[in-house]
Structure 1
Amino acid sequence: MDHKEHHKPTDRVLVERVLSGNTRAFGSIIRDTEGLVAQIVFKMIPDREERRDIAQDIYLKVFQKLDSFRFQSKLSTWIARIAYNTCINQLEKNKASPIGNEHPAPTNPEDEYPQEYPDAHDLEENLTDAELNGLLESEIEKLPALYKLLITLYHRQELSYAEIAQIVALPEGTIKSYLFRARKILRERIQMIYNKGL
């Protein structure tokens, strides 16, 4: 396994192989990125029927646009960007907002990081037992699509702010604001549930 991983083709080699007609190389690209693409589609698109079609559409676009990839980011980040844009287009068709109407990002920087809400990983660090994790997952699913996606990319996929910024085409400061807002909503909802003794 380690031996195989060591000889894994680079993004450039894979792209060159696909462009020269090697379909197996495109299969490798799909295998390497389908987990990330699935996370984006599942967090952004609520309708199960639409998800499969959208995933196929994403990889069709990747195949068609591969010759325009300029290696200015990781291939997986570029594909994630195509996935995100495809999902946004679908949401617009469905007349749905990716961030909902209730939770705009804070505009005053002083409002973004008040002392009572500690650092980025605080929520995850404090929710370690299975029951609380289950509750957290179900509450994440109720967030607006973009908030769900950002939580997933940052905490689950462990992407950097810079990589996420490339995918969703938002400034890093805005991403931090949305993540802060999403975590704040989750904290408040979970606290409310516990206060009710559920």
Structure 2
Amino acid sequence: MDEKQLVRQILSGSDSAIRLLIDKYERLVIHMITRVVSDDMDREELCQDVFMKVIDKLNTFHFDSKLSTWIATIAYRTAVNFAKKKRMDQVDLDQVSFKVGEESQVTEEEDMKRFILKLVDQLPLNYKTVLTLFYLDGFSYPEIVEVTGMPEGTVKNYIHRARKKLKLIVEEQAKKEVALQ
């Protein structure tokens, strides 16, 4: 089913179409919120809020962009507004623990991905957002502009600055690792 058919069915009151929309875009919404909000209970509540907003405002969607971009915009703005209200602290790497061992069957690659995401979490919110949208979600510059409302030059600048800042964070972390040995 294409996006237009899905939207039409939802607007006509189809519960199965709503379920299909949620199933199709749930990972995107979770990812957008997870990049901004750290508390699991808050994330779950925000995901529900996002889908309620999406369904409520679906009649205003005019297919000027992809449905995924529009939904990501709602998720991003919902998460950012929530984070501003809570004034959330950044993650402290000393408190991060990784599950390792036979029971969890976590590979070294998965540990490294988690570790890198924790480093990315130390970036300022705007840097973290554009970096993850670009590299992890594969959004184009115009899509990031639409999601965040930032000018394209700012998006490119933030991605550049985020990479530089992330490099400094990695170098600092490497120094800590060497000092521990």
TM bracket (short chain): 0.7 to 0.9
Deviation track 1:90-131 (CA, whole Å, cap 9, x = no partner) reads 123224599xxxxxxxxxxxxxxxxxxxxxxxxxxxxxx847
1:89 is matched with 81
Letter in 1 for 2:22: I
1:170 lines up with 2:162 in the alignment:
no
Q: What TM-score do you get using the length of structure 1 for normalisation?
A: 0.73
The structure-2 alpha-carbon separation of the partners of 1:138 and 1:96, relative to structure 1 and needing over 3 Å to count, comes to closer
Q: Kindly indicate whether the alpha-carbon contact (under 8 Å) linking 1:135 and 1:190 is maintained by their aligned counterparts in 2.
A: no
Of 149, 152, 161, the match for 1:181? 161
1:154 lines up with 2:154 in the alignment:
no
In 2, the alpha carbon distance for the partners of 1:134 and 1:97 equals 19
1:43 lines up with 2:35 in the alignment:
yes
In 1, the alpha carbon distance for the partners of 2:38 and 2:113 equals 21
Pairwise CA distance, 1:132: 5.5
The structure-2 alpha-carbon separation of the partners of 1:97 and 1:69, relative to structure 1 and needing over 3 Å to count, comes to farther
Aligned length: 160
Q: Kindly indicate whether the alpha-carbon contact (under 8 Å) linking 1:45 and 1:91 is maintained by their aligned counterparts in 2.
A: yes
- Choose between structure 1 and 2 for higher RCO, CA contacts under 8 A separated by at least 6 residues: 1
Gaps of 5+ in 2: 91-107
Give the 5 Å matches for 1:5-24: 9-24=1-16
Pairwise CA distance, 1:73: 0.5
The structure-2 alpha-carbon separation of the partners of 1:40 and 1:151, relative to structure 1 and needing over 3 Å to count, comes to same
Of 25, 34, 55, the match for 1:33? 25
Q: What TM-score do you get using the length of structure 2 for normalisation?
A: 0.80
SS at match of 1:44: coil
2:63 is matched with 71
Deviation track 1:114-159 (CA, whole Å, cap 9, x = no partner) reads xxxxxxxxxxxxxxx8475454222112222332222221111111
Give the 5 Å matches for 1:71-150: 71-95=63-87, 130=109, 133-150=113-130
Q: Return 130-139 or 175-184, whichever deviates more.
A: 130-139
Letter in 2 for 1:175: V
In 2, the alpha carbon distance for the partners of 1:55 and 1:61 equals 10
Root-mean-square deviation (CA, aligned residues, Å) is 2.1
Letter in 2 for 1:92: K
The structure-2 alpha-carbon separation of the partners of 1:22 and 1:132, relative to structure 1 and needing over 3 Å to count, comes to closer
